[in-house]
Amino acid sequence: MTDVVVPAGLWSETDEAAISSWFYAEGDMVSAGAVIAEIMVEKTSFELLAPASGSLHIAVAAEVPIAAGDVVGRIA
């Protein structure tokens, strides 16, 4: 089980961030390094990469505010 963590240091902490879309659905197989979601911050997008290969569990849905360090999913 590997946590999917929002990367730190990419944008100012005062900016509002949210996942704009998950590219995979709950339970889908993903491979390590694949882009699994996009994070939107002030009209700029950042990639969220799979930290491991396996089955994706989504913990935080799209369009919910998130911050660096948040666990937004797990890969088992």
Partner 1 sequence: MSSPEPSTPPSPSRRLTIARAMAEAIGQEMDRDASVLVMGEDIAKLGGVFGTTTGLLDRFGSERVRDTPISETAFIGAAVGLAASGMRPVVELMFVDFFGVCMDAIYNLAAKQSYFSGGQVQCPMVLMTSVGGGYGDAGQHSQTLYATFGHLPGLKVVIPSNAHDAKGLMLAAIRDPNPVIFMYHKALQGMGWLGTVQRSITDVPECDYVVPLSKARTVREGRDITLVGLGLSLHHALDAAERLAREGISAEVIDLISIAPLDREAVRRSVGKTGRLLVVDDDYLSYGIGAEIIASVCEAGIPLRAAPVRIAHPDIPVPFTPVMEHFVLPDADKVTAAALTLMEKQTA
CA distance 57 to 16: 23
Nearer to partner 1, 7 or 55 (CB): 55
**1 is a contact residue toward partner 1 (CB under 8 A):** no
**38 is a contact residue toward partner 1 (CB under 8 A):** yes
Residue of the chain from 2, 5, 10, 20 that contacts partner 1 (CB under 8 A): 20
* Smallest distance, partner 1 to C-beta of residue 71, A: 19
C-alpha dihedral, 18 to 37 to 52 to 15, nearest 10°: -30
Contacts to partner 1 by CB under 8 A: 18-25, 28-31, 34-35, 38, 40, 43-45, 53, 62-63
